[in-house]
Amino acid sequence: MSRSSLWLSLVVLALPFTGVTFLIYETVGFNWSELNDEAWRASLAVTLYVTLTSTLLSLMIGTWLARTIYMKRSSWLASLLKWPMFVPHVAAAYLFYLLFSGGFPVYGLFEANERNHLVVILTYVWKEVPFVFLMVVGTYGQLNHGYLDMAKTLQLKPLEQFRVAEWPFLVKPLLDSFWVLVAFISFAYEVPALLGVTFPELLGVLAYERLTTGLFLNAFESYAVALIWTLFIFTGVVASYALTAKQRRRIERGMRR
Amino acid sequence: MSRILVAFLIVFPFIGLFLTFPTSFSWDEAILNTIAYVISIALVNVWLGVGTAWWLLFTESRWKSWVEWLTFLPLFIPVLASMFGMYIALAQVGLIGTYTGVGLVLLVTTLPYSIRLAYNAMYVIGRPLLEQALTFAPLARIGFVLLPLLKESVRTIVLFSTVIVLSQFVLVQLIGAGLIPTVTTRLYQAYAGNDVSQALQNTWVLVSLPVLFYIGLGGIFSIWIRLVKGRLQ
Amino acid sequence: MHRLKQLGLLVSLVFLAACGTTRAEIAPTFEEAAEEAKQSTVNFYMWGGDDGINRYIDEYVAPRLKETYDLDLNRVPMDTAEFVRQLSLDKRANREEGTIDLMWINGDNFRNAAEAELLQGDLLDKIPNAALLNEEAQATDAGTPTNGLEVAWGNVQFVLHYDADKVNNPPTTFDELHRWTEENPGRFTYPEVTDFTGNAFVRHLLYAEYADTVRDGEIPDAFWEELSTWSPNLWKQGTTYPKSLAQLDQLYASGEVWMTMGFNERRAEAERNAGVFPDGTRALTLEHSIASTHFLAVPFNAKNPNGAIVVINELLSPEAQLAKQDATYWGDGTSLDLTKLDATDRDAFLKLDEGVTYPDPQRLAERSIPDYGPAVIDLIREEWDRVAK
Integer Cα distance of C328 and C325 in angstroms: 8
Helix axes B29-58, B99-125, angle to 10 degrees: 40
pLDDT of residue C337: 95
Cα torsion through B75, B81, B86, B91, rounded to 10:
160
pLDDT band at C59 (very low <50, low <70, confident <90, very high): very high
Residue B189 is assigned to a structural domain of this protein: yes
Range(s) of the domain holding residue C264 = 157-290+365-388
Residue C16 is assigned to a structural domain of this protein: no
- Residue pair B45/B158 in contact by the 8 Å Cβ criterion: yes
pLDDT of residue C215: 77
Residue C164 is assigned to a structural domain of this protein: yes
Integer Cα distance of C63 and C51 in angstroms: 18
Give yes or no: residues C245 and C101 share one domain: no
Residue A29 has pLDDT above 90, yes or no: no
3-state secondary structure B72-129: HHHHHCCHHHHHHHHHHHHHHCCCCCCHHHHHHHHHHHHHHHHHHHHHHHHHHHCHHH
Residue B67 is assigned to a structural domain of this protein: yes
Amino acid at C189: T
pLDDT of residue B175: 93
| Among A2, A83, A226, beta carbon nearest to B55 | A2
- Residue pair C190/C238 in contact by the 8 Å Cβ criterion: no
- Per the structure, the count of domains in chain B is 1
- Residue pair A218/A210 in contact by the 8 Å Cβ criterion: yes
pLDDT of residue C16: 45
> CATH no. for residue B186?
1.10.3720.10
Helix axes B64-72, B29-58, angle to 10 degrees: 150
Domain A38-205 adopts which CATH fold?
MetI-like fold (1.10.3720)
Residue C148 has pLDDT above 80, yes or no: yes
Integer Cα distance of A49 and C69 in angstroms: 58
pLDDT of residue B197: 74
> CATH no. for residue C212?
3.40.190.10
For chain B, the chains sharing at least 3 beta-carbon pairs closer than 8 angstroms are A, C
Residue A194 has pLDDT above 90, yes or no: no
Q: What is the mean pLDDT of residues C214-233?
A: 90
Integer Cα distance of B130 and A237 in angstroms: 30
| Among A11, A199, A214, beta carbon nearest to C108 | A214
Chain C residue nearest residue A1, CA to CA: C3
pLDDT of residue B22: 67
Residue B15 is assigned to a structural domain of this protein: no
- Residue pair B167/A190 in contact by the 8 Å Cβ criterion: yes
Give yes or no: residues C278 and C212 share one domain: yes
CB contact under 8 Å between C89 and B173, yes or no, is no
pLDDT of residue B194: 60
Number of A/B CB contacts below 8 angstroms equals: 212
Angle at A102 between CA A100 and CA A107, to 5 degrees: 65
CB contact under 8 Å between A7 and C194, yes or no, is no
Task: Identify the burial level of A197 via C-beta atoms within 10 angstroms of its C-beta, where 0-12 means exposed, 13-18 middle and 19 or more buried.
Answer: buried
| Among B91, B95, B189, beta carbon nearest to C90 | B91
> What is the residue extent of each domain of chain A?
38-205
- Residue pair A180/B112 in contact by the 8 Å Cβ criterion: no
pLDDT of residue C13: 45
Chain A residue numbers with beta carbons less than 8 Å from the beta carbon of B19 are 98, 103
Integer Cα distance of B151 and B172 in angstroms: 30
Chain A residue numbers with beta carbons less than 8 Å from the beta carbon of C241 are 198
Integer Cα distance of C60 and C131 in angstroms: 23
Residue C2 is assigned to a structural domain of this protein: no
B88 touches chain C (CB under 8 A): yes
| Among C108, C194, C239, beta carbon nearest to A209 | C194
pLDDT band at C169 (very low <50, low <70, confident <90, very high): very high
| Among A61, A43, A53, A4, residue whose Cα is nearest residue A196 | A43
Which of A49-63, A207-221, C205-219, C282-296 has the lowest average pLDDT? A207-221
- Residue pair B24/A98 in contact by the 8 Å Cβ criterion: no
Angle at C387 between CA C157 and CA A117, to 5 degrees: 110
Residue C244 is assigned to a structural domain of this protein: yes
In a mutational test of the B interface, the residue from C89, C254, C304 whose CB has the highest number of chain B CBs within 10 Å is C89
In chain C, the percentage of residues whose pLDDT exceeds 90 is 71
Residue A155 main-chain phi, psi, to 5 deg: 60, 45
How far CA B88 is from CA of A28, B44, B99, C97, in Å, comes to 17, 24, 17, 14
Chain B residue numbers with beta carbons less than 8 Å from the beta carbon of A104 are 15-16
A 111-140 → B contacts, CB under 8 A: 126, 134, 138
A49-76 pLDDT per residue, tens? 999 999 999 999 999 999 988 888 888 9
Integer Cα distance of B58 and B50 in angstroms: 12
DSSP conformational letter for A165 = I
User: CA of A85, closest CA in chain B: separation in Å?
Assistant: 8
C326: left (phi over 0), alpha (psi -120 to 50) or beta: beta
Residue B107 is assigned to a structural domain of this protein: yes
Give yes or no: residues C327 and C278 share one domain: no
Integer Cα distance of C41 and C44 in angstroms: 9
CB contact under 8 Å between B78 and A9, yes or no, is no
**ipTM exceeding the 0.95 mark:** no
Low-confidence ranges of chain B (pLDDT < 50): none
Give yes or no: residues C146 and C165 share one domain: no
pLDDT of residue A107: 54
pLDDT of residue A255: 54
C40 touches chain B (CB under 8 A): no
A242 touches chain B (CB under 8 A): no
C194 touches chain A (CB under 8 A): yes
Give yes or no: residues C320 and C371 share one domain: no
Residue C40 main-chain phi, psi, to 5 deg: -105, 175
C328 touches chain B (CB under 8 A): no
pLDDT of residue C132: 96
Give the residue with greater pLDDT, A108 vs C76. Answer: C76
Give yes or no: residues C274 and C314 share one domain: no
Sign of CA dihedral B116, B122, B123, B124: positive
Integer Cα distance of C1 and C6 in angstroms: 9
pLDDT of residue A208: 86
Residue C133 is assigned to a structural domain of this protein: yes
What's chain C's average pLDDT?
90
Range(s) of the domain holding residue B96 = 29-232
- Residue pair C81/B174 in contact by the 8 Å Cβ criterion: no
CB contact under 8 Å between C240 and A102, yes or no, is no
pLDDT of residue C385: 86
| Among B9, B77, B188, beta carbon nearest to A90 | B188
Give yes or no: residues C34 and C78 share one domain: yes
In a mutational test of the A interface, the residue from C47, C227, C239, C250 whose CB has the highest number of chain A CBs within 10 Å is C239
- Per the structure, the count of domains in chain C is 2
CB contact under 8 Å between B54 and A1, yes or no, is yes
